[in-house]
Chain A
Amino acid sequence: MYAIRLWSVRHSRGLEAFYQGFERIVVALDPVWRFLGYNRIEKPVAAVEKLVKGVLFDCQMCGMCALSQTGMACPMNCPKQLRHGPCGGVRVDGMCEVKPEMRCVWVEAYAGSQRMQAGPAAIRELRAPVDRRLTGTSSWLRVAREKAPKPPAKAAP
């Protein structure tokens, strides 16, 4: 919802702290995810993620979550799906070129990023172009898989 999305950006600092803790838990639970099977839990976890982040951020489930870098404003809500900042069409009052009734996602993101502990520099980082195959998949599980320490390789029998 639009109003909740704006609230989330206003509270980007708190959400950032919460998210950092949450990420640690998700990553720590890697053995559990492996026991259950990442592939088997992908769909239900993605459904939960979509519900939670959908409410908080109008998340579009791109699968490559950048919220922690973009002031807790989801860049996929930009009608041009820009990943590196605002286009040149932003209206003088800060509204979107394509949807004049919506605040520019990147104007919001910039404001949100100023409030974050990590500081506003992260928003300017070069990001890889979106891998469209990941659309609809869980960013949480992807982060868990990537950040968890790798289990020791089994010795050859």
Chain B
Amino acid sequence: MIFEDEPEPGHPLPMLPGHSSAGRFERILRAGGFAVTAELAPPDSAAAEDVYARAHIFDGYVDAINATDGSGANCHMSSVAVCALLTHIGYSPVMQLSCRDRNRIAMQGEILGAAAMGVCNLLCLTGDGVQAGDHPQAKPVFDYDSISLLRAATRLRDEGTFESGRKLTSRPHVFFGAAENPFVPPYDWRPQRLAQKVAAGAQFIQTQYCFDVPLLRKFMARADELGLLDQVFILVGVGPLPSAKTADWMRRHVPGVHIPDAVVQRLAGAAKPKAEGRNLCVELIQEIREIKGVSGVHLMAYRQEEAVAEVIERSGVLQGRVPWYPGRPAELSLEKAAS
């Protein structure tokens, strides 16, 4: 995978034939690379420096950075602003857009605005319920659901119209994705739900945390039977667990997180649970990358962001490749293909 045109912060790359966006993330996936993305928690601040500092932690290890949109229904800096800031200095963000807080007028406008600021990747989400966050008294909007949002988003790009039918004067060139959670009921429906999302326009998928590889294998095998693996890039969610206590808290309180008892017990029995959590994460990545149809991993290391570099390094999934970051030394500039 050798790209001769280097990103120049603030300027879009040329769009390659057959691509939906001018972004590096789509390039890596379409070139057959194993992509690494990581989740950035937007700060509770109004300072751009805080955003840059949080992105900087991942330098050299990730192909794209997800900016969450009020994750867990907690209030933070908006994802569109975080993505605009990151794009401005050359990073390749994935903007998360949740249906919880906006109606269809705001959401379609947000997609156009994001594209105008150079955002190339957008993840269409339903969003956690407001009860999960720090403003449970807020009005849950949910005018669209994730599939209606995907449909509206691809309509903007491919048909050049709003839901109302009114025409755009220029279209957003964006690579659209969605989330999926293979680890919660109804299990039989999950691969078909993936098919629904692909039909609605999802080009890539980032899954919820995977701590249960057998369940993932089943899901992927079924997706293969449905002929989906050639139509969508699947990045599997992973993350280091700091302790048995946190793992247990997460599975009780964070919506959609499934952690098997064996994982919690392994952490509880470890002398250094934090190190053990990272070991487990490395093992999971190595196991997951061998599964047919997996195009990458998505790291969610909330309050352990510094662990991402270590985990990716040890897993070896980048195979010597150094993803672009602001100020990357010239000798690393060619994104080398795996031999």
**B140 sits at the interface (CB 8 A):** yes
Smallest CB–CB gap between A5 and chain B, Å? 18
* Count of interface residues, chain A, beta-carbon cutoff 8 Å: 27
Q: Is the CB of A90 within 8 A of B256?
A: yes
Q: Is the CB of B126 within 8 A of A80?
A: yes
Q: Give per-residue flags for A76-116: 1 if the beta carbon is below 8 A from chain B beta carbons, else 0.
A: 00011111111111111010011000001011001100000
Q: Is the CB of A124 within 8 A of B140?
A: no
Q: Which residues of A contact B208 (CB under 8 A)?
A: 88
Q: Which B182-233 residues sit within 8 Å CB-CB of chain A?
A: 184-186, 188-189, 192-193, 195-196, 199-200, 208
Smallest CB–CB gap between B128 and chain A, Å? 7
A19 to B204, CA, bound (A): 40
Q: Which residues of B contact A88 (CB under 8 A)?
A: 126, 179-181, 184, 208, 255-256
**A36 sits at the interface (CB 8 A):** no
A65 to B110, CA, bound (A): 30
Smallest CB–CB gap between A57 and chain B, Å? 19
Q: Is the CB of B184 within 8 A of A90?
A: yes
Smallest CB–CB gap between B134 and chain A, Å? 16
Q: Which residues of B contact A81 (CB under 8 A)?
A: 142, 145
**B287 sits at the interface (CB 8 A):** no
A82 to B193, CA, bound (A): 13
Given contacts A90-B184, A132-B143, list 7 more A-B pairs with CB under 8 A: A80-B126, A82-B142, A83-B148, A89-B255, A107-B185, A111-B186, A124-B193
Q: Chain B residues in contact with chain A, CB under 8 A?
A: 99-100, 104, 126-129, 131-132, 140, 142-148, 151-152, 163, 179-181, 184-186, 188-189, 192-193, 195-196, 199-200, 208, 255-256, 258
- For this complex, 29 residue pairs linking A to B, each with C-beta atoms less than 8 Å apart, are A80-B140, A81-B142, A84-B145, A84-B146, A85-B147, A85-B196, A86-B184, A86-B185, A88-B180, A88-B255, A88-B256, A89-B128, A90-B181, A90-B184, A91-B184, A92-B185, A92-B258, A97-B128, A97-B132, A104-B185, A106-B189, A111-B186, A124-B192, A124-B193, A126-B196, A126-B199, A129-B104, A129-B143, A132-B143
